[in-house]
Amino acid sequence: MSTDTIVPQTSHVERHGYLFGHPIAHSMSPLLHQTVYDGLGLKWSQFPLDSLDMDLFLRLREDPKFYGASITMPHKLAILKHLDGLTPEGAAVGAVNTMFLREDCSTGKRLYIGTNTDVIGIRDSFYENISDPDACFHRRPGLVIGGGGAARSAVYALRTMMKASKIYLVNRNRSEVKAVIDECTARGYGDSLVDVSTVAQAQQLEGPGAIVACVPNFTPKTEDEKEARKVFECLLGKDHKGAILEMCYHPSPWTEIAEISQRMGWRVIMGTEAMIYQGLEQDKYWTGRGIHEMPVKKCHQVIAAKLSEARL
């Protein structure tokens, strides 16, 4: 057992899960899920397991009271070989943020299944906040800023769930964009992905309707970063004004990208929306309850209060 990991005490709850990753000190995941369980009258809890020790986690998940886990960086890929199956979303994105349990009907053996609820968090952030998606983003280009795992989830959501006609990729690093295009293509949803690398190219393109920003909050410093920001601003400046989901919400949900977007007439959706809706989707897998049974409004209130507290 790792000497660096504090293993939570779980005996006081009926069932327990973990948030497994590192670092996770600022995560609001346990708070979100506790709000859901309290609202459902369940004596359950999700405990933070701030660790790089995969072997430890694999031992802990054998506990009969374990119901599943949120899997975050750096384990979203490493966990794949320790699973018995994947949902279509988990297989398509190629990264897992959620482990849930099922039972083998013939043997009674516990099965560990992986999924990716980030795609649902992205999808629901738009549909729960935009009253007329046909006018806002359906059958228009989507735009993804970034080149990491969240960008892949965003491409999947835009392509398969949000009726994007094509998807623009804007990023400071061309090799990262190529990796996203290659991987999404290999997994079957990479058609009509466009690497937009220059302002001149952006000027010739139809304006996007839905944007997902998957980068940290920072002021561009290198030439590549400055060019990517100019490309983004060019696309923001098109006549059509849609909605942007700013996935970055720590340490503050109001970022440079959010500020620029609002100033240019775009509807800004906070990244906490994606966090809440992906978490509610996780709880559907873990509890078997529908989202209509969950305290959705209370979850929004609790997360908003926690953010306000953090800014004090």
Does residue 2 surpass a pLDDT of 80?
no
Average pLDDT (203-226) is 94
Please give the residue range of the domain that contains residue 144.
120-269
Residue with tokens 């694999």: 58
Q: What is the CATH number of the domain that holds 90?
A: 3.40.50.10860
Q: Which helix (H) or strand (E) holds 57?
A: helix 54-60
Looking at the predicted structure, is the pLDDT value of residue 1 above 80? no
Structural domain includes residue 36:
yes
Tell me which of 116, 141, 167 is where a domain ends.
116
Instruction: Calculate mean pLDDT across residues 305-312.
Output: 77
H/E segment holding residue 243: strand 243-246
- Mean pLDDT over 145-158 rounds to 92
Percent pLDDT > 90 in the chain is: 86
Specify the number of domains making up the chain.
Answer: 2
Q: Average pLDDT over the chain, rounded to whole?
A: 94
Contact 130, 162 (CB under 8 A): no
Please name which of 207, 309, 216, 305 lies closest in space to residue 265, comparing C-alpha atoms. Answer: 207
Residue 76 is a catalytic residue:
yes
Residue among 76, 81, 238, 284 flagged as catalytic: 76
Q: Is residue 302 part of a domain?
A: no
- Residue ending a domain, among 84, 116, 148, is 116
Residues 127 and 140 in one domain: yes
Q: Which pLDDT belongs to residue 14?
A: 97
Q: Are residues 103 and 151 in the same domain?
A: no
Residue finishing a domain among 74, 93, 116: 116
The whole-angstrom separation of Cα 312 and Cα 306 is 10
CA distances 78 to 2, 54, 161, 191, 307, Å, are 18, 8, 27, 27, 31
Confidence at 253, pLDDT banded by 50, 70, 90 = confident
164 plus 189 within the same structural domain: yes
Q: Could you give the dihedral angle defined by the CA atoms of residues 218, 221, 224 and 227, in that order, rounded to the nearest 10 degrees? A: 80
Percentage of residues in the chain with pLDDT exceeding 70? 98
- The answer to whether residues 142 and 224 belong to one domain is yes
- pLDDT number for residue 217: 86
Is residue 202 assigned to a domain? yes
Is the pLDDT confidence value at 311 over 70? Answer: no
